Amino acid sequence: MATAAPWRPSTSGVHVSHSCSTSPSSGPVHFAGGPACATADRGFIRIAPGCTFPWHTHRGEEISIILAGTLRDHEGRILHAGDELVQATGTQHDLACEGSEDVIFAARALNGIALSTRS
C-alpha cells in the first residue's frame, strides 16, 4: 500500500495531496484511478476556513464527495460530509470553506480543469 503524500499548499488556504502526478499543471490533485479515469484529475483537496478554491472551468464532468467540513459553491449551496457535487463539462465555479474547520473532499474531474477568471 502506498504511503500518504503530504498536503502541499497550491493557493493560499487551499492544500492538495499529490500521490502521483501525470499532469501537474492541469489540475489540483492526483491519485491512481484506473483506466476509466486515465484522463481525469482525481484526489483529495483541503480548503482552510475562510479560503476559496479558485474559479475554474471543467474540461469534463466532475464529481466530488465531501468528506469533512462544510463547503459552499458559487450559487450559495451548502454541502456537508456525505454530500455529492456534480459539475457538467464546460461549467465554471469556485468553492469556499464555510465554518471553523477545514473542508476535505475527493474529486474526479474528467480531462481536468482550467483555472479561469469569473465571467
Domain residue limits, the chain: 7-115
- Tell me the CATH class for 7-115: mainly beta
C-alpha Rg value of the chain to the nearest Å: 13
Size (the chain), residues: 119
| Sequence-ordered strand ranges (E) for 2-91 | 7-11, 14-17, 40-47, 52-58, 62-68, 70-73, 78-80, 84-87
- Would you state the pLDDT for residue 93? 92
Number of H helices, E strands in the chain: 0, 11
Opening angle at CA 95, ends 4 and 114, nearest 5: 80
pLDDT in tens, the chain (119 residues): 344 455 555 555 555 543 333 323 223 445 667 777 777 788 888 888 888 888 899 999 999 999 999 999 999 999 999 999 999 999 999 999 999 998 999 998 888 888 888 76
- Read off the pTM: 0.74
